[in-house]
Amino acid sequence: MRFNDSSIPFGGSGHGTQSVRQRERAKRLESRLQETLSIQQVEREAHRREERLHALTARRLASSNAELRQSNSSREAVMAQLRASNAELERFAFVCSHDMKEPIRTISGLLDFLVNDEDRLSPAERRDLKNRIDRDVARLNSIIESLLAYSRLNSRVETVLLDLNAIVSDVLEGLDHEVKAADAEIELGDLPKLTAADIHMRQLFQNLISNGLKFRRRNKVCKIRVAANEKSDSWVISVEDSGRGVPKKDRERIFSMFQRLNSKDNVEGTGLGLSICSRIVSQYGGVIVCRDSFLGGAAFDIHFPKVVG
C-alpha cells in the first residue's frame, strides 16, 4: 500500500517555529547585553577621564595657589624693604636736621664769642676757644664722611676672592697709632678667603677693631681677637675685645643708624660704624650679632654664607 506524504500532518512544524523564536530572543538578549557592556565601558571610561580631570585640576590649582603665595610673599618682602628704606630715609633726615646742626650751632656760638669778646680774652682762653672750634669742625667732618660712606654702600663694586688675613693685617697697619696708644694685644686666627668687595671688608674690620680700641677699659689690658669658625654652609668670623661690652637690651639697637651707647663719654664717633657693618654683611646674605666676649667685653659674630646668592 502506498501513502502520500503530503496528506499526513507533520506535528514537528510548530516546534521549528518555536526554535526560531528562541534564537531571535537569544540574539536580542545578546544584543542588549552587548549594549549594556558597551554602556558600562563608556561609563568606566568617563569615570577614568573624570578622575584624570579632577587630578589635573587639583595639580593646576595647587600650582596656582603656590604661585599666588609666592607672589604674595614677594610682594610682602618688597613692601617690607620699602618700609625699611623709608625708615632709613627718616633717620637720615633726622641726623641732617639734628646731629649736624648741633656742631654747627656750637661753632657759630664760639666764633661769635671769639670775635665779639676778643679784647677781653686772654691768649690761653683764645687758644681754648680755637681748640673747641677745631674739635667741632672735625666732628662735623666725621659725620659728613660717615654719611657718604653709608650712602655709597649700594654702589656697584667689583667682587673678587679676598684673603681676609691680608685684609685684617692691612687694617691693623692703618690703625698702628691707635693700637700703640691703647697698648693693645692683638690675636689673629687663621681667616678664610671670601668673594667680596675689598672696600667692604676693609670698612667692616676697621669699624669693629676700632670699636674695640676706642671702648676699652682704662684699668684693664686691651685685648682684641679676630678668629674664624667653619660651619657646613657658612663661616663665622668673630671680632672680640676686653672692653666695656654691650648690655643685652642694646644689642640690636646698636646696629641702627646714629646709635651711641656712650653719648656722654669723650669717645669720638658718629654712631654709624656698626650700622655700616650690618649693612655690609647683609649685602652678602649674612648676619652680624653681638654677644658677650670670653675676653670680658663685646664679641661680634659675622655669619657669612659660603655661597653668596
Q: Clarify whether residues 293 and 164 are in a common domain.
A: yes
Phi, psi of 283 (to 5 degrees): -65, -20
Q: Clarify whether residues 255 and 198 are in a common domain.
A: yes
Q: Clarify whether residues 131 and 170 are in a common domain.
A: no
Q: Clarify whether residues 141 and 165 are in a common domain.
A: no
SS3 content of the chain, % helix, strand, coil (to 5): 60, 15, 25
Within-domain flag for 4: no
Q: Clarify whether residues 226 and 289 are in a common domain.
A: yes
Query: Quick one: CA torsion of 218, 221, 224, 229, rounded to 10 degrees?
Result: -130
Residue 103 domain boundaries? 98-155
- Report the C-alpha gap between 90 and 122 in whole angstroms: 45
pLDDT digits (tens, 9 = 90+) for 101-121: 667 777 888 788 777 777 777
Q: Clarify whether residues 133 and 170 are in a common domain.
A: no
Q: Clarify whether residues 195 and 301 are in a common domain.
A: yes
Helix (H) or strand (E) holding 123: helix 123-151
Report how many domains make up the chain.
3
Q: Clarify whether residues 216 and 267 are in a common domain.
A: yes
Within-domain flag for 7: no
pTM above 0.85, yes or no: no
Which residue, of 109, 136, 155, is where some domain finishes?
155
pLDDT value of position 255:
73
Is the model's pLDDT at 96 over the cut of 80?
no
Q: Clarify whether residues 304 and 167 are in a common domain.
A: yes
Which residue, of 155, 185, 202, is where some domain finishes?
155
Q: Clarify whether residues 164 and 302 are in a common domain.
A: yes
Residue of 204 and 25 predicted with greater confidence: 204
Within-domain flag for 143: yes
Within-domain flag for 10: no
Within-domain flag for 211: yes
- Report the C-alpha gap between 138 and 135 in whole angstroms: 5
Within-domain flag for 2: no
Which residue, of 91, 125, 143, is where some domain finishes?
91
Residue of 299 and 151 predicted with greater confidence: 299
**Tell me, what CATH number does 174's domain have?**
3.30.565.10
pLDDT digits (tens, 9 = 90+) for 3-55: 444 444 444 455 567 777 777 777 777 777 776 767 767 677 777 777 887 77
